[in-house]
Amino acid sequence: MHEHRMLIDGQLVEAHNGKTFQNINPATEEVLGNVTDGSHADAQRAVAAARRAFDGTDWGRDHEGRKKSLLQLQQALEAEREDMRAELIAEVGCPVLLTYGPQLDAPVNEAVKWPAEQISEFPWKRSLGEKDPFGWGMVASREVWKEPIGVVGVIVPWNFPLEITLNKLGPVLAMGNTCVIKPAPDTPFNATRLSRLIAEHTDIPPGVVNIVTSSDHSVGEVLTKSPDVDMVAFTGSTATGRKIMEGAASTLKATFLELGGKSANIVLDDADFPSAVGSAAAVCTHAGQGCAISTRLLVPRSRYQEAVDIVTESMKNIGYGDPNDPANLQGPQISKRQQERVLNYIEKGRAEGAKLAVGGGVPKHLPKGFFIEPTLFIDVDNKMTIAQEEIFGPVLVVIPFEDDDDAVRIANESAYGLSGQISSGDINRARDVASRIRTGTLGINGAVWYGADTPFGGYKQSGVGRQCGIEGLEIFTQTKSVAVPAAT
């Protein structure tokens, strides 16, 4: 049974106006159920509740209470893991294999637990020692305090909805803040389930966590513009990130923005080509709907045809279709709108002169669902639209480079800087290239950086700030410097 209500001020509630909207399975186009359709008024009620909970309770100072509550949530999540697995596959269209990694198991295992454990370890105060600042004989003992930032508006996308929600919620609560979460309308059930778990299985006080589901994207503007919200934490497109930053500027509120990417997968000439180039077909994972996926394959011009032959064969053999089938790495796009958006990019690639080597259309054997064939473009110039803009589909472009310096240039010739990969037979050579790539995360020779303890975010137009890790805790705090007369 799916929970259809949202969470406001500790209560599971319907929308104030009684409206609901449908949740659609993107693999079958069938209606999964109805969800309460929150309005601007509901979001304002949620903000007011979060403000009262922050200003009027000791939540921000009760370290042990927060830790206990987060560990209760951890237990509740673990108890309903398998129900969440089926629910995510149905509403997100994610392959079942991905739920045993970043879509479900990895965040459930650590996204709440790790921040909870850090409450006891985090340096809430540090001493600067004694000093007579002006030489007037007024010696002060000085400290730096870290305190909660306040009410945080959390806006979540549809591609990894539970993972992103938990990796924001854990740090937000661990640092003593309250919040209002606005999930994506395409994937609301994981958020309403979380609403129920918090309300029924934890001691989190009313108003500390509020979750407002809505089919109206503009409801998020309540969070960005309200003077009662101290910060907005957002994951999504760079275009939307700009709008959020503009809205937040009206009240000078802090923002954390994890935005788009156009990451490069650089295969150097001494790499294990069959493995490194063949694995580039992983661009199709979750239908390419991941901001950190490496969508540009950069290969040496001297081995270009060899690389094209390998990746062509690999892309032809990617399993795609029913996300419940473990043989499929690729499921559907999240919606008809997203399917059409990706197809438009494919047409633009053709029009600009790139050569379509694999796929490029809607699969005829999948009459239902928002599917697109695994798609490979070769003979791509890095200035082409398909090499510069985030497509968010199962589309890989292959670009040749002359040498290491040229590979670095091409990789950095992008408005984005979120992630990437480097493959080489010489780890020191790979590290040197990595040191020159302007991205927030990098994997060398297939190594994976992901984790609740690992800072994640981007350079340039890929965002502002970091999620997870110590940096992802600090971002949800304010800094206060305090001086008292030194002991005599």
pLDDT in tens, 118-150: 999 999 999 999 999 999 999 999 999 999 999
The Cα–Cα gap between 419 and 24 comes to: 31
Give the residue-averaged pLDDT of 176-198.
Answer: 98
State how beta strands 125-131 and 31-36 pair.
Answer: unpaired
High-pLDDT (> 70) share of the chain, %: 100
Secondary structure (DSSP) of 211-241 = E---S-GGGHHHHHH-TT--EEEEES-HHHH
Residue 206's pLDDT band, with cuts at 50, 70 and 90, is very high
Question: At 182, is the secondary structure helix, strand, or coil?
Answer: strand
Q: For residue 10, what is the DSSP state?
A: T
The span from the first CA to the last CA of the chain, in angstroms, equals: 66
Give the residue-averaged pLDDT of 272-290.
Answer: 97
Does residue 171 carry a pLDDT above 90?
yes
Residue 487's pLDDT band, with cuts at 50, 70 and 90, is confident
Closest by Cα among 321, 327, 325, 324 to 369: 321
117: exposed, middle or buried (C-beta count within 10 Å: 0-12, 13-18, 19+)?
Answer: middle
Q: In what helix (H) or strand (E) does residue 412 lie, and over which residues does it extend? A: helix 404-412
Residue 488's pLDDT band, with cuts at 50, 70 and 90, is low
pTM (predicted TM-score): 0.96
Does residue 92 carry a pLDDT above 70?
yes
Given a contact cutoff of 8 angstroms between Cβ atoms, the answer to whether 406 and 253 are in contact is no
Q: In what helix (H) or strand (E) does residue 375 lie, and over which residues does it extend? A: strand 375-378
CA angle 315, 321, 323 (to 5 degrees): 115
Kindly list the distances between the CA atom of residue 156 and the CA atoms of 31, 167, 189, 239, in Å, as whole numbers in the listed order.
22, 11, 13, 15
Q: Point out the residues that are catalytic.
A: 258, 291
On average, the pLDDT of the chain sits at: 97
Does residue 469 carry a pLDDT above 90?
yes
Does residue 1 carry a pLDDT above 80?
no
Per-residue pLDDT of 423-445, as tens digits, reads 999 999 999 999 999 999 999 99
The Cα–Cα gap between 57 and 47 comes to: 15
The Cα–Cα gap between 412 and 55 comes to: 45
